[in-house]
């Protein structure tokens, strides 16, 4: 199984680097930074990645739903077997996916993704609205 982060600019590389700093250098966590040099052909980058990883189960996490990177992957969902696409890249999501894959090797990929998304959503907080004096809010 592979987790591929792909973003506009260098976000994907930064998220993967940070995740590996926290969870260790897992070899199945990879990234592609799009639009960072003269090679701006996103479809070509995706096709090369799919060719190199033919037969693998791949979870692709893109930066934004409806962006060019996400849309290029969306076009392939019906034709590429074992391809799972998630938008809304964050460090917390990537860490949760890695930890879930490491602990649930034989689990259903859809369940791993849904569980990781649910846990990640719990991590979004508007910190100004946390009552720091009550002692009841968890951090």
- Report the percent of the chain where pLDDT is more than 70: 95
- Residues 2-34: pLDDT tens digits? 999 999 999 999 999 999 999 999 999 999 999
- Residues 68-105: pLDDT tens digits? 999 999 999 999 999 999 999 999 999 999 999 877 76
Average pLDDT, the chain: 92
Task: Give the sign of the dihedral formed by CA 48, CA 49, CA 52, CA 57.
Answer: negative
Q: 3-class SS at 16?
A: helix
Return the CATH class of domain 2-123.
alpha beta
Domain extents in the chain: 2-123
- CB-based contact 89:61 (threshold 8 Å): yes
Tell me the C-alpha to C-alpha distance, in Å, between residue 110 and each of 48, 66, 85, 97. 25, 21, 10, 11
């Amino acid at each position: 199984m592979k987790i591929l982060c792909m973003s506009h600019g260098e976000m994907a590389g930064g998220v993967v680097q940070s995740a590996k700093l926290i969870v260790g250098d897992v070899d199945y966590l990879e990234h592609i930074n799009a639009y960072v040099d003269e090679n701006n052909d996103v479809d070509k980058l995706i096709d090369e990645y799919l060719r190199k990883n033919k037969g693998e189960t791949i979870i692709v996490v893109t930066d934004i739903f409806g962006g060019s990177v996400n849309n290029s992957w969306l076009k392939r969902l019906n034709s590429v077997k074992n391809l799972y696409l998630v938008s809304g890249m964050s460090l917390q999501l990537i860490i949760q996916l890695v930890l879930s894959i490491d602990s649930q090797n034989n689990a259903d990929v859809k369940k791993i993704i849904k569980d990781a998304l649910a846990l990640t959503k719990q991590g979004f907080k508007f910190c100004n609205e946390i009552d720091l004096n009550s002692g009841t809010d968890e951090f």
